[in-house]
Amino acid sequence: MRPLTPADLNPAILNVQYAVRGELAIKAEEFRDKLQSPGHNLPFTKVISSNIGNPQQKGLDQAPITFTRQVAALMEYPPLIELVSGKWPQDVIDRAKELQTEIGSIGAYSHSKGVPLIRKHVAKFIEERDGYPSDPEDIFLTAGASAGVSLLLNVLITPPTTGILIPIPQYPLYTATLAQFSGIPLPYHLSEPNGWSTSLREIEAALAKAEKEGIKPRALVVINPGNPTGALLDVPTMEALVKLCEEHSLVLLADEVYQTNLHRPTDHPFHSFKQVVRRLGSPVPLVSFHSISKGVKGECGRRGGYFEATNLSNEVRALLYKMPGDASYPLWKSETDTIHAALAHRTQLMAARLNALPGVSCVDSPGALYLYPKLELPDKAVEEAERLGKSPDTLYALELLHETGICVVPGSGFGQKEGEHHYRLTCLCPGVEEYVGALENFHRKFLKKYE
């Protein structure tokens, strides 16, 4: 066996640099440990982490917002409502009930784009902020803003020629993610003498340089308010940036996670790019990122955020939706051995009954949550599937769904040998008799239809 070395790994990963968690942060941890030991001889008594704004960390201990956390506690453990009724504010209880009705258990997979009610709430917030409509279908909930940025850069970058315009200085998330996805950073410098303002000339120079080098610029990253600069864009600059994106067919990636962190809102108000794009009636594809880690929430450990995709075609939006970032696994859960036994029994029973059907053979699986029966399908069914441009097991599964409401996964999604047909079904359904009965009836009708 040859040992695995960094040279065996993706070279793009070796380029990932993440200053916020680099040498200094590691050293700081060492000092924090050293301070515990008596006679440590260090010239200070505590380490102050000014590298990461992490207000709820130990030592800072900023309290989270009570309302948010009380609602969250009720979502974790719904029976708690009885205990706190009359003790916690009624609006906490009302909000939890509204969410529980909509979501059910927070332990369940939700829609890939996020819970519809929460996306509606986000759209309402955006409408009130901007004075322009926001469509909940344009909102994607993400695990923090970083997850959204990572998804968008992954989709927008076609290695090795895609360039992304990024401000300098920038938050290193951008250079790190560009390295990860082999995108080329096209840096434009912010003007420190003008309070870290954004200069169109700098961006145009970066675009000209890219063209000379055969790099295709695909998107412009703007961080507003700035990180690490804290600068705020004014409206004329924002309008000019939008027009520049139009001219060069760039996607505008607006990192607006600090939008409520304003120290002098009267003379330095925040304007969203969404508002500017709408007011100009611009067709520029815009993705605006926001986060629960910033502003008045500060819930960085919770990993929550959204992005709003404006002026993206349905086709492009659908590609964001089917990415595996929000992958959805099948699963099983049981609190006791009783449930284990019940599932084992149900699996065996279902396998036996499926095996009794003509043209069905099914391995009686000893583990996991599924059966994966093999189907011998009539030639006519195979021909009909070919005519429709579908795999035969997709035809079978579609008809099953249409007839019975039972949604399974065709074997073609998992991979199978040429000419074979399977489908996967879970053994989690309630009411085995009704469920398997429906499967049996459907199967017999299907065979008859295509015999």
Distances in Å between the Cα of 175 and the Cα atoms of 164, 172, 245, 398 are: 10, 5, 21, 45
Q: Exposure string (b/e) for 70-90, b if CB count within 10 Å is 16 or more?
A: bbeebbeeeebeeeeeeebee
Q: Which position among 117, 374, 378, 432 is part of the footprint of its own copies (CB under 8 A)?
A: 374
CB of 385: closest distance to its own copies in angstroms? Answer: 13
CA distance 359 to 390: 20
Per-residue contact flags (x/-) with its own copies for residues 305 to 344, judged by CB under 8 A: -------xx-xx--x--xxx--xxxxxxxxxx--xx--xx
State the Cα torsion 339-436-370-402 to the nearest 10°: -130
Picking from 253, 232, 255, the residue whose alpha carbon sits closest to that of residue 242 is 253
- Least Cβ distance, residue 313 to its own copies (angstroms): 7
CA distances from 230 to 233, 259, 270 (A): 10, 11, 12
Compare residues 383 and 403 and give the one whose CB is closer to its own copies.
403
Residue 219: what are its φ and ψ, rounded to 5°? -150, 155
Q: Which stretch binds its own copies (CB under 8 A): 125-133, 260-268, 272-280, 378-386?
A: 260-268
Nearer to its own copies, 133 or 195 (CB): 195
Q: Give 291's strand partners.
A: 305
Instruction: Give the DSSP letter of residue 137.
Output: G
The single residue among 141, 203, 207, 232 that binds its own copies, judged by CB under 8 A, is 232
- Of the residues 33, 52, 200, 376, which one makes contact with its own copies according to CB under 8 A: 52
Per CB under 8 A, the list member of 81, 117, 143, 240 interacting with its own copies is: 143
CA dist 393 and 409 (Å) reads: 9
Intra-chain end-to-end CA distance of the chain, in Å: 55
Distance CA 392, CA 398 (A): 10
Which helix or strand (DSSP H or E) is residue 280 part of?
helix 273-280
Neighbours of 215 (CB within 10 A): 19
Binds its own copies by CB under 8 A, chosen from 95, 112, 120, 382? 112
Q: Does 272 bind its own copies (CB under 8 A)?
A: no
> Going by C-beta distance under 8 Å and a sequence separation of 6 or more, which residues neighbour residue 390?
398
CB 304 within 8 A of CB 291: yes
Cβ closest to its own copies, residue 40 vs residue 124: 40
The label of the residue with tokens 């030639």 reads 379
CB 23, min distance to its own copies, A: 7
| Site for its own copies, residues 113 to 142, rule: CB under 8 A | none
Q: Rounded to whole angstroms, how far apart are CA atoms 203 and 248?
A: 11
**Cβ nearer to its own copies, comparing 122 with 183:** 183
Q: Is 9 in the site for its own copies (CB under 8 A)?
A: yes
Q: How far apart are CA 167 and CA 357, in angstroms?
A: 64
Q: Is 365 in the site for its own copies (CB under 8 A)?
A: yes
To the nearest whole angstrom, how small is the minimum distance from the Cβ of residue 36 to its own copies? 13
User: Least distance in Å: CB of 387 to its own copies?
Assistant: 17
Considering the complex, state which of residue 339 and residue 356 has its C-beta at the smaller distance from its own copies: 339
What would the two tokens of residue 76 be?
A: 């974790």
Q: Does 199 bind its own copies (CB under 8 A)?
A: no
Q: Determine which residue in the list 36, 90, 105, 338 makes contact with its own copies, applying CB under 8 A.
A: 105
With binding defined as CB under 8 A, does residue 24 bind its own copies?
A: yes
Q: Which of 205, 240, 360, 369 binds its own copies (CB under 8 A)?
A: 369
| Minimum CB distance to its own copies smaller for 134 or for 177 | 177
Whether the Cβ atoms of residue 197 and residue 191 lie closer than 8 Å to each other:
yes
Per-residue mark of binding to its own copies, 396-425 (x: CB under 8 A):
-xx--xxxxxxxxxxxxxxxxx----x-xx
By CB under 8 A, residue 240 contacts its own copies: no
- Identity of the residue, 132 or 311, whose beta carbon is nearer to its own copies in the bound complex: 311
Residue 281 in contact with its own copies, rule: CB under 8 A = no
Q: Does residue 284 interact with its own copies by CB under 8 A?
A: yes
CB of 365 to its own copies, least distance (A): 2
Check residue 363 for interaction with its own copies (CB under 8 A): yes
